[in-house]
Amino acid sequence: MKSRRVVRRREYLGKGWKLGTLEINQVASTFAAEIRGIDASSPLSARDLDALIGALDRYGVVVMPDQNLTPDQQISVSEQLGPLENSDEGSPSFRKLRENLQYVDGRVSEISNLAQGKGLLEESDVRRLFTFANQLWHSDSTFRPIRARYTTLSAVKVPESGGDTEFADVASSYDALSDEDKEEIKDLMGVHSPTVVMEAMGATRPDGGGFVSEYGTQSRPIVDIHPGSGRKVLNVPSHCSHIEGMSLPEGRSLLTYLREKATLPEFRYRHVWSLGDFVIWDNRSTLHRACRFKERKEARQLVRTVVQDA
């Protein structure tokens, strides 16, 4: 087997890079890459895994077209990246809401508007809430004690139009902040909770009550350092409800300002799904959101795993 040094040797192809056996083409101005030459349906060699993690450190979002993974294959490749979040071990009420639509294994879930993989969800189905809540910029599971390192999505059904996923590069957007802004936020801690997003959507539980976080809240730095790239990143997802030591309005005013800076159009990549696409993103260096589509008319089904930052 070739050494790690050989894997890391990069060859410029004119439009992209060849890294080991992988061909890597950046697809947005500051981040996000399409990777070819990898077969995610079989166990990745140490070399490909190393190159994939290197690409995630560098590009934040990695798109692998034409993979057509089964849920079991998706679980296997995800587990090569780290331990998986398991909805069977999540909080009981969110687990109920998130109830897997088709899969019984808690390591895999669906982003889907299909009931049991068949007809569209009833208009009153509470699971539709996730379709709406995911339209706010976020980073996965920052409100849980163990946040998400990577999320993977595999496209099983895609609508005729809309339903894209948009990503923002929060390392480059941090770099673009003024020195004054960087100084102001350098030591701040944000407080994360799942309920703030439900409140922002005006959502109530089926019984009409409000949402309560069974995870409590999590304090996380507003400016974090990405361990893979060493770059500073802006950690301001919509689940960040307020800032420690600031009044609610003052903290929310600053968070709104920073979220706008974090998601400026020049730091975005919009992924238009094709059947069989397999996309992995690093939640520590990106924000993401789902884009609207005609969810009362068309089916959209993406299979999802979450690799814990553990």
Q: Could you say which of 22, 290, 299, 303 contacts ligand AKG (CB under 6 A)?
A: 290
The smaller minimum CB distance to ligand AKG, of residues 98 and 182, is found at: 98
Q: Could you say which of 231, 242, 268, 304 contacts ligand AKG (CB under 6 A)?
A: 304
Q: Could you say which of 134, 238, 263, 308 contacts ligand AKG (CB under 6 A)?
A: 134
* Cα end-to-end span (Å), the chain: 29
- Amino acid in position 159: P
Per-residue x/- mask for ligand AKG, residues 75 to 114, rule CB under 6 A?
A: ------------------------------------x---
- DSSP calls for 206-259: TTSPPP--TT--EEEESEEE-TTT--EEE---TTEEEETTS-HHHHHHHHHHHH
Q: Could you say which of 140, 169, 282, 309 contacts ligand AKG (CB under 6 A)?
A: 140
Q: Could you say which of 78, 165, 193, 218 contacts ligand AKG (CB under 6 A)?
A: 165
Count, residues near ligand AKG per rule CB under 6 A: 9
The smaller minimum CB distance to ligand AKG, of residues 111 and 156, is found at: 111
- The CB-of-195 to ligand AKG minimum distance in angstroms stands at 17
* Nearest by Cα to 31 from 277, 306, 228: 228
Give the CA count within 13 Å in the CB-facing half-sphere of 251.
Answer: 17
Per-residue x/- mask for ligand AKG, residues 112 to 131, rule CB under 6 A?
A: --------------------
* Nearest by Cα to 246 from 182, 187, 295, 188: 188
Cα–Cα distance, 30 to 88 (Å, whole number): 37
Cα 193 to chain centroid distance, Å, stands at 17
Binding-site ranges for ligand AKG (CB under 6 A): 111, 134, 140, 151, 165, 288, 290, 302, 304
